[in-house]
Chains A and B, each alone.
Chain A
């Protein structure tokens, strides 16, 4: 039986339904990320798990216990907020001790736990500092320690890295993942940053307009997006229109170039137009490039992006982007040049939605 279960969750604010029939089962110790654009309902779902919003319909259970109607202070769920939300009148140690004091723990136990938590986030030397004397990254680590101190059943992270600069964001997300694995705590992480979600999650829920469009491991979400939205939202993707030539042989045409797909084209019929997805990193134009499939086109632009050079070429009516790893001797193709992009047929995915 799953540890945290969301069954048929719905939420409306007045006439606007922001979460629709949301189902999710999370295992104990799992790290699950809710990924989606602003307004997709991911934070609302998180706030319903925390108890700050009441679902219009559906149930939320933790360890088999129905929590749907419990108040936030009865749920034993830790939460880390985007804006840190440390109590400004308390120093670091007092902030971390707050939940333990509220629970009426003995002083010796509180002191030991605070020390342990500050050790976990490597801020033991800043125990006497006040929030305003600390950087954003330090404050967020304290907020994490404070949420973990009362040993919650579930840890909720509401875009905890959004307010931090890029470098700290990367180091802190690795630290969060390491602490989560060390403690084995069930964690739900909300983010709109696909890189964050892909790098630290066991599973990702890609949300769109109040629904879970796809739930899967980071590799599944990235390599096999099940909807056009997921394909568009996660990573950079070429969406290519193709015409079905022979459904029995899975033969399609991009422009005037025929390609045989690995995936069955059915139920599309001959003459139908289907959407295909191709990652920019899937192919190569190098003379020794491998792959049984090839597309030839004219280069329309070539952009230097640091580690890669992204080139766009026109094939029929579609423009396809592909990446080449940068190296000192690499000469990018010139605009107007005709190039052949090679890739494996399995890299072309059919988007069915």
Chain B
């Protein structure tokens, strides 16, 4: 074996240890709730906690709503920019990258300043209004991933020519959008959707400062007050993320846009 190959394997092993050892340690610790033997008591305790169910359900609902509204915002925007306003592309790309640069706490304080009870649009006056604001916050956070996933999917299918082909066959905008464009960027939309879902399930700052009963603040609360359950929750959160990534991989294989044979 060449020395460079050996070094590569050593690097991979160190990297794997760095990621896997803490995870194994956390998992092992989560099984130690019962004294003297391994058990799933911590998981049982987490799943039987009503607050877990409530916060998990709330975050899942917020995740689905964020995905739906995010799709409705991002797909037509990416389509329009690609088709009619290509000169605006750098501007839109810059805007969609901002949530990665601006800390979430700054964004949420901005929201609170703009939409507090004494503002022109007092969204925080009601529970539903605050829920709406939280959903928009999640949409903002997921924008860099959602936009790029959809834009990349659109790049793969010559959107302009497909639109013209559909128009020449008599199709109007809704038909073009929902029968010709949407199905062909679905893998990108779903990729963005799974990333969005993973973000929403673990997000803490926005939900805590808007005082909503989401899964992120619940994770923090349990972590501060209990011993074994936080480890069980960390493993559960990892499982959700991996499931999302697995689904993302699966979906990307279903795309029917392989290159044509010569």
Question: Interface size (A, Cβ < 8 Å)?
Answer: 36
The yes or no answer to A29 lying at the interface (CB within 8 A) is no
The yes or no answer to B239 lying at the interface (CB within 8 A) is no
Given A79-B164, A83-B158, A102-B171, answer yes or no on A165-B262 (Cβ-Cβ < 8 Å).
yes
Set of chain A residues within 8 Å of B164, measured between Cβ atoms: 50, 52, 72, 79, 81, 85
Closest to A143 in B: B165
Q: How far is the CB of B189 from chain A (nearest CB, A)?
A: 13
Set of chain A residues within 8 Å of B171, measured between Cβ atoms: 73, 98, 102
By the criterion CB–CB under 8 Å, are A73 and B260 in contact?
no
Distance between Cα atoms of A134 and B258 in the complex (Å): 10
The yes or no answer to B167 lying at the interface (CB within 8 A) is yes
By the criterion CB–CB under 8 Å, are A88 and B261 in contact?
no
By the criterion CB–CB under 8 Å, are B162 and A134 in contact?
no
Q: Which of B157, B161, B169 has the most CB of A within 10 A?
A: B169
Set of chain B residues within 8 Å of A85, measured between Cβ atoms: 158, 161-162, 164-165
The yes or no answer to A297 lying at the interface (CB within 8 A) is no
Contact code string B221-257 (vs A, CB < 8 Å = 1, else 0): 0000000000000000000000000000000000011
By the criterion CB–CB under 8 Å, are A99 and B261 in contact?
no
The yes or no answer to B170 lying at the interface (CB within 8 A) is yes
The yes or no answer to B205 lying at the interface (CB within 8 A) is no
The yes or no answer to A131 lying at the interface (CB within 8 A) is yes
Closest to B173 in A: A73
Given A52-B164, A85-B165, answer yes or no on A76-B257 (Cβ-Cβ < 8 Å).
no
Contact code string B168-202 (vs A, CB < 8 Å = 1, else 0): 11111001000110011000000000000000000
By the criterion CB–CB under 8 Å, are A136 and B260 in contact?
yes
Q: How far is the CB of B188 from chain A (nearest CB, A)?
A: 13
Q: List 5 A-B contacts (CB under 8 A).
A: A83-B158, A84-B260, A98-B166, A98-B179, A102-B175
- Which residues does B use to contact A, with CB under 8 Å? 157-158, 161-162, 164-172, 175, 179-180, 183-184, 256-262
A72-B164, A98-B169 are known; give 15 further A-B pairs, CB within 8 A.
A73-B169, A73-B170, A73-B172, A79-B165, A81-B161, A83-B161, A85-B164, A87-B162, A99-B169, A99-B170, A131-B256, A131-B260, A132-B257, A147-B168, A147-B169
Q: What 4 A-B pairs have minimum CB-CB distances, sorted nearest first? A: A99-B169, A89-B183, A85-B165, A72-B167
